[in-house]
Structure 1
Amino acid sequence: MFNTIRTREAPSSLSRRQKYNSKDVLDELCKVFFKKCYICETKEPLDINVEHFSSHNGDLNKKFDWENLYLSCARCNNIKLQGYNNLLDCCDTNTDVLRAIKHKPPTTPYAKRLEIEPQLVDESTLATAELLNKVYNSDHTDTKMVTAVALRKEVFKQFNIFLELQCEYFDETSLEVEKENAIERMKLLIMPSSKYSAFISWCIIEDTVLYPILEPYIGLSEE
């Protein structure tokens, strides 16, 4: 999961309380969340939803509350449903959701599961880690199992890009300009706008050489 800042004002259509997922709402949420699902970090998912961070349960104030509307893929929204109303809020500037939960990328494209490890023991962190484990590792239905495999493969593809850059940086035969280029590209991978940035950021966090170099850029938005 990644941090972002909801700098956009509430879209005008919400004041009419007719639809909470009008085009202007979707457009603004795409800017806030970098066109990513805020849960699984898939960028530009094929089936995108405007979802309620906290279930509205018929409460119109919560249903049309701009602060309660988030961007998710249909798969994550379906897994979350109404069972998680106490998640870590990635729009909360006082909460470092990235460091609260360790995301360990798969070492092969066909890994059986991804490791999601809460770093804190508060209720919200544990609930968020539980949801993320379901998202990346769900196998309770055949469909969820197939889509989880596909999701893990996509995470691995991004991780593999990082591995290639890491090898280039540590290669003793690399020129200084090649090493600088590798660092600049790693900076892009850990930006919240990049897909699966939490996984790559944790690779950096646990690297004793790269972390001092890239720590200032972890979770840093380009905006």
Structure 2
Amino acid sequence: MIKINRVETEQTRCAEEDLRLAKENGTTYNTKNVNIALREVFHNKCYICENKSSTSYQIEHLVPHRENAYLKYAWDNLFFACAHCNGIKSDKYNPIIDCTKVDVEKKIAFRKEGYFGADEKFIFKALDSDIETKNTVELLEAVYYASSTVQKEFESRLLRKHLREALSRFKNYIREYEELDTKEEKEDMECLIRNELKDSSEFTAFKRWLIRDNAKFYNDLDGFLDEG
């Protein structure tokens, strides 16, 4: 989970108009325009796990609406989530961090410890004592290590596999970058690394925290973190 800016576009204006009409008429918020706009805003990835490989995405209410008309149709309360995360979150974790308003990476550290087959673990460390942070950490832990059903356990295992592969590719880019000698070669690899650290990349929080935790080794890459 990272901070996502809700940029206003022609598509988001169409979505908000759909929501206004839906609220007036008591119809569904789940329109084509709303789905397209959310996918655009959240860079085609789940706002909770940052996975782009899910086969099912849904409209998720940050604050459960419980038939509250305002919350049900409010554009700022609608988020883009994969079915796995949406099903786990439901209305069990409230309140959580609003990643469109808060810099999540200043409140939670995202880390991978150990190695595959040797006590590997994805860690979500709260950096403050806010209730939103606490609930978000608990949600992330439940998402990545679900065990309520066989299906959820399988989905979590697949999510961890995608994350592991993404981090492995990213680390390889960094290793190659460190081994290059010429300025031209480094510039090409810099472009790849910058793309991996953008808001639009998947599992960005883990990649950015990898750079932060190894700043003494990657101090020339630390400046990429502010580019978003």
Q: What is the TM-score when the length of structure 2 is the normalising length?
A: 0.88
Q: Which runs of 5+ in 2 are unaligned?
A: none
Q: Is the Cα–Cα contact under 8 Å of residues 57 and 81 in structure 2 kept in the other structure?
A: yes
User: Deviation digits for residues 117-161 of structure 1, max 9, x if unmatched?
Assistant: 111111111110110011111223221211111111100111111
**Displacement of 1:44 after TM fit?**
5.3
Q: CA RMSD, aligned part only?
A: 2.0
1:13 to 14, 18, 29: 18
> What is the alpha-carbon distance in structure 2 between the residues aligned to residue 83 and residue 66 of structure 1?
21
Matched, 1:166 2:174: yes
Matched, 1:149 2:154: no
User: Deviation digits for residues 77-133 of structure 1, max 9, x if unmatched?
Assistant: 0000001221111100xx210231111136545665311111111111111011001
Q: Is the Cα–Cα contact under 8 Å of residues 49 and 71 in structure 1 kept in the other structure?
A: yes
Which range moves more in the overlay, 124-133 or 182-191?
182-191
Q: Which amino acid aligns with 2:133?
A: T
Q: Is the Cα–Cα contact under 8 Å of residues 113 and 152 in structure 1 kept in the other structure?
A: no
Q: Which amino acid aligns with 1:180?
A: E
> What is the alpha-carbon distance in structure 1 between the residues aligned to residue 221 and residue 56 of structure 2?
33
Counterparts in 2 of 1:106 and 1:22: CA distance versus 1, 3 Å: farther
Could you tell me which residue of structure 2 aligns to residue 41 of structure 1?
A: 50
Could you tell me which residue of structure 2 aligns to residue 53 of structure 1?
A: 62
State how 1:109-188 maps to structure 2 within 5 Å.
113-171=121-179, 174-188=181-195
SS in 2 for 1:7: coil
> What is the alpha-carbon distance in structure 1 between the residues aligned to residue 167 and residue 114 of structure 2?
8
> What is the alpha-carbon distance in structure 2 between the residues aligned to residue 19 and residue 109 of structure 1?
44
Q: Is the Cα–Cα contact under 8 Å of residues 105 and 159 in structure 1 kept in the other structure?
A: no
SS in 2 for 1:104: strand
User: Deviation digits for residues 162-215 of structure 1, max 9, x if unmatched?
Assistant: 1111211222x6443333322221111111100101110100111224654333
> What is the alpha-carbon distance in structure 2 between the residues aligned to residue 35 and residue 4 of structure 1?
12
**Displacement of 1:68 after TM fit?**
0.5
Q: Is the Cα–Cα contact under 8 Å of residues 97 and 132 in structure 2 kept in the other structure?
A: yes
Which range moves more in the overlay, 113-122 or 98-107?
98-107
SS in 2 for 1:49: strand
> What is the alpha-carbon distance in structure 1 between the residues aligned to residue 7 and residue 88 of structure 2?
28
Matched, 1:62 2:80: no
Matched residue count: 218
SS in 1 for 2:125: strand
Counterparts in 2 of 1:208 and 1:220: CA distance versus 1, 3 Å: closer
> What is the alpha-carbon distance in structure 2 between the residues aligned to residue 107 and residue 180 of structure 1?
31
Q: Is the Cα–Cα contact under 8 Å of residues 112 and 121 in structure 2 kept in the other structure?
A: no
> What is the alpha-carbon distance in structure 2 between the residues aligned to residue 211 and residue 20 of structure 1?
45
